[in-house]
Amino acid sequence: MEGSISRFLLLVFSLLSVVRAIDPFTYDNDTFILHGEPYLLRGGQMDPQHIPHELWPDRLEKARGMGLNTIFSYVFWDQLEPTQGSWDNTGNNDIAKYFRLAQEKGLNIILRPGPYVCAEHEWGGFPAWLSEIPGMVVRDNNKPFLEASKAFINRLAEEVGDLQVTNGGPILMVQIENEYGSYGSDHEYLGALKDIFTAAFDVPFYTNDGGTQAMLEGGQISGVLAETDGDVYDGFAARDKYVTDPTSLGPQLDGEYYMSVVVYH
């Protein structure tokens, strides 16, 4: 009996070793792991669509010179698909080119495609034509919205899918939604988004929410790493306190560390 248990445990550990060997980017309880080695993620936000594409090499070199090893990047749906079904990947919208340049400069990528990205961009990055679709309700378990979001994510994956770390590229992780817990708690919607992302990408996913119980519980997705933004100390403590699903736990990451207060005019 003891021999059978030993053989079973050996098989389990062997399988875990195989998974680790074929998964180029993963994590355990407290560490990100890249190609089998601990990876201290030193990241900064720099969006290609906010920078003239002629300046991308200069800005990426400066980011690397600052000591960063990872670039967090929003992509804005309204600029990539200004009219429904019409995709623009030229100039500042050539996301794949930006990611390739980042890799050439020694930088990895955390992709933040939304579909809602941030309040600082018009309508959170949603294209205006969404408002013309009958029955549309954004950020909701709404068939028209999910169909449009799926088409967008799939088209984006066509552009950058071969740049995932699983294909030798720089994309390490993909964020699902953004600070959804500050907006709602529709977990059917979040689950539907997870299905869309899982079909399109094969790197780890994470969520990013504020460090309160309501925000974390509202934005959490089972099986997806839960992270916080804002104050490091309060956010990390809140994540450990309020996220109880073990499939959403892992190393701590501050998804947006605020250096100053945003003032709107």
Q: What are the sequence ranges of the domains in the chain?
A: 43-256
What integer best gives the mean pLDDT of the chain? 93
Tokens 């780890």 found at:
204
DSSP one-letter code for 66: T
| Confidence (pTM) | 0.90
| pLDDT of 166 higher than 50 | yes
Q: Euclidean distance between the first and final Cα of the chain, in Å?
A: 72
If you count them, how many residues does the chain have?
265
Confidence of residue 6 (pLDDT cuts 50, 70, 90): low
pLDDT digits (tens, 9 = 90+) for 25-41: 999 999 999 999 999 99
Chain Cα centroid distance, residue 33: 16
- The per-residue pLDDT for 18 is 46
The top-level CATH class assigned to 43-256 is alpha beta
Q: State which amino acid sits at residue 155.
A: R
- The per-residue pLDDT for 261 is 59
Tokens 């799926």 found at:
150
Half-sphere exposure of 118 (CA within 13 A, CB side): 16
- Verify whether residue 256 is a known catalytic residue: yes
254 versus 16: which is more confidently predicted?
254
- The per-residue pLDDT for 171 is 99
pLDDT digits (tens, 9 = 90+) for 231-255: 888 899 999 999 999 999 999 999 9
Contact assessment for residue 188 and residue 158, using Cβ atoms and an 8 Å cutoff: no
- CA proximity to 259, closest of 35, 44, 19, 15: 44
Cis peptide before 82 (omega within 30 of 0): no
- The per-residue pLDDT for 233 is 83
- Given the residues 81, 159, 179, 227, select the one marked as catalytic: 179
Name the strand (E) or helix (H) holding 218: helix 213-219
- Verify whether residue 61 is a known catalytic residue: no
